Amino acid sequence: MFGDDRFRDYQPASLRKDFVSGITVGIVAIPLGMAFAMASGVKPEYGIYTTIIAGLIVSLLGGSRFQIAGPTGAFIPILLAVVLQYGYENLLIAGLMSGILLVIMSFLKLGNLVHFIPRSVTIGFTTGIAVIIFTGQLGNFLGLDHLEKKEYFHQNMAELFRHLDQINGYSILTAFIGLLVIMIIPRLFPRIPVLLVGLLIPTLCAVIFYPGQVETIGTAFGGIPQSLPKFQFPEITLEKITMLITPALVIAALGAIESLLSAVVADSMTGDRHKSNRELFGQGIANIVSPLFGGIPATGAIARTATNIKSGAVSPLSGVIHSVFVLLTLLLFAPYASYIPLAAMAPILMLVAWNMSGYKAFQHILQLKTSDSLVLVVTFLLTVFVNLTVAVQVGLLLAVLSFVKKKSEQLQIDNPPDPQKRKQETLDLTAHFQIKTFTIKGPLFFGTAQSFEHSLMASIGRMPSVILLDMQHVTMIDATGEDKLASIIENIKKAGSTVLVSGLPDWGIELFKKSGLYEKIGASCFFPDESSARESAFRRQETAD
Instruction: Give 318-329 pLDDT, tens digit per residue.
Output: 999 999 999 999
CA-based nearest residue to 116, from 400, 423, 443: 400
Q: Report the pLDDT value the prediction gives residue 545, as an integer from 0 to 100.
A: 56
**Long-range contacts (CB closer than 8 Å, 24 or more residues apart) made by 43-48:** 43/221, 43/224, 44/217, 44/221, 44/224, 44/337, 45/224, 45/225, 45/229, 45/294, 45/330, 45/334, 46/294, 46/295, 46/296, 47/71, 47/296, 48/224, 48/326, 48/330
CA-based nearest residue to 516, from 358, 366, 359, 377: 366
Residue 11 pLDDT > 90, yes or no? no
Comparing 130-134, 176-180, 463-467, the range with the smallest average pLDDT is 463-467
Residue 539: band (very low, low, confident or very high) from pLDDT cuts 50, 70, 90 = confident
Q: What is the maximal distance between C-alpha atoms in the chain?
A: 84
50-68 burial: b if 16+ Cβ within 10 Å, else e: bbbbbbbbbbbbbbbbbbb
Residue 295 pLDDT > 90, yes or no? yes
Please provide residue 92's backbone torsions phi and psi, each rounded to the nearest 5 degrees: -60, -40
Residue 432: band (very low, low, confident or very high) from pLDDT cuts 50, 70, 90 = very low
Residue 4: band (very low, low, confident or very high) from pLDDT cuts 50, 70, 90 = low
Residue 343 pLDDT > 90, yes or no? yes
In tens, the pLDDT along 382-424 reads: 999 998 889 988 999 998 888 777 765 554 343 334 333 333 3
Instruction: Pick 457 or 49 by higher pLDDT.
Output: 49
pTM: 0.82
Residue 275: band (very low, low, confident or very high) from pLDDT cuts 50, 70, 90 = very high
Helix axes 479-494, 506-515, angle to 10 degrees: 70
CATH 3.30.750.24 residue ranges in the chain?
419-544
**Helix, coil or strand: residue 61:** helix
Using CA atoms, how far apart are residues 369 and 317, in angstroms rounded to an integer? 46
**Helix, coil or strand: residue 526:** strand
Residue 261: band (very low, low, confident or very high) from pLDDT cuts 50, 70, 90 = confident
One-letter amino acid for residue 326 of the chain: V
Fold exhibited by the domain 419-544: Transcription Regulator spoIIAA (3.30.750)
Instruction: Pick 461 or 541 by higher pLDDT.
Output: 461
Q: Report the pLDDT value the prediction gives residue 422, as an integer from 0 to 100.
A: 37
In sequence order, what are the residues at sequence separation of 6 or more whose Cβ sits closer than 8 angstroms to the Cβ of residue 416? Answer: none
DSSP strand pairing (69-70 vs 299-300): antiparallel
Q: Where are the beta strands (DSSP E) in 309-390?
A: none
Residue 540 pLDDT > 90, yes or no? no
**What residues does 470 pair with on adjacent strands?**
439, 502
Using CA atoms, how far apart are residues 182 and 349, in angstroms rounded to an integer? 11
Using CA atoms, how far apart are residues 444 and 451, in angstroms rounded to an integer? 10
**Long-range contacts (CB closer than 8 Å, 24 or more residues apart) made by 186-192:** none
Which one-letter DSSP state was computed for residue 516? Answer: T
Using CA atoms, how far apart are residues 213 and 186, in angstroms rounded to an integer? 29
One-letter amino acid for residue 98 of the chain: S
Query: DSSP string covering 161-202, please?
Result: HHTGGG--HHHHHHHHHHHHHHHHHHHH-TTS-HHHHHHHHH
One-letter amino acid for residue 43 of the chain: K
In sequence order, what are the residues at sequence separation of 6 or more whose Cβ sits closer than 8 angstroms to the Cβ of residue 310? Answer: none
Task: State the average pLDDT over residues 74-85.
Answer: 94
Task: State the average pLDDT over residues 158-182.
Answer: 95
Query: DSSP string covering 445-485, please?
Result: STTTHHHHHHHHHHHH-S--SEEEEEEEEEEEE-HHHHHHH
